[in-house]
Amino acid sequence: MAKHYHIEAQAGDIAELVLLPGDPKRAEYIATHYLEDAKLYNTVRGMSGFTGTYQGKRVSVQGTGMGMPSAGIYIHELINVYGAKKLVRIGSCGSLQEKVGLRDIILAMSACTNSAMVPRRFFHQTYAPTANFDLLYQAYNIARDKGVSVHVGSLLSSDHFYDDTGEDVFRWAEYGVLAVEMEAAELFTVAAKYGVQALAICTVSDSLVTGDETSSEDRETSFTQMMEIALELA
């Protein structure tokens, strides 16, 4: 196997479909509540990774931490060391639109970013990170079959959670961006480079419009609709 630093799994331990929550506790929750015969394959830096079966299909779930630098490490190793073919971020986001409320689900077909990580690859020219259409289409139809109403559109992947730069985040909202999170743009970019499929499914944990928010426990254990949509992609 190629050299790696952050995942201690052996060859064959990780499925071709990998769900990517930022929170390793969410990975553990999914493994415990949804996967059969789940096996823990990674504990390095506390980033739990599990592989099991969902309705007879192998699925892995790997915590990535917060932000594009952390997520990018796991995405790179999952693809290049362990042969992952479909990577689906399942995470929380902050709504930028009045019509997108608490606990609503967003299927991201694209991701803007204020990070230097993506433009650095293109000598600071513009690149448009986008989801894989097949995964997006499947997820949309799964949601419809389940009776789950979803928003489809663009996210903003930000480098800052606590932002003191004075950037007007609602400038992005004026151009239709639905919500802000911290990983999707890097996921889409790395997946595109290596020719694998990627999608981001996010649940609204707080609203920058109304100030409403969920608890950390809610974010860990109650955002089950996006988990189930992602698992059905197996």
Catalytic positions are: 206
Query: Which residue matches tokens 């920058």?
Result: 208
User: Which helix (H) or strand (E) element contains residue 27?
Assistant: helix 24-33
- Check residue 123 and give left, alpha or beta (phi > 0: left; psi -120 to 50: alpha): left
Residue 216's alpha-carbon distances to 41, 116, 197, 222, in angstroms, are 25, 28, 29, 10
Two tokens at 228? 């189930």
Contact 219, 91 (CB under 8 A): no
Per DSSP, 14 falls in state S
CA angle 189, 153, 199 (to 5 degrees): 40
Contact 191, 199 (CB under 8 A): no
Two tokens at 11? 């060859």
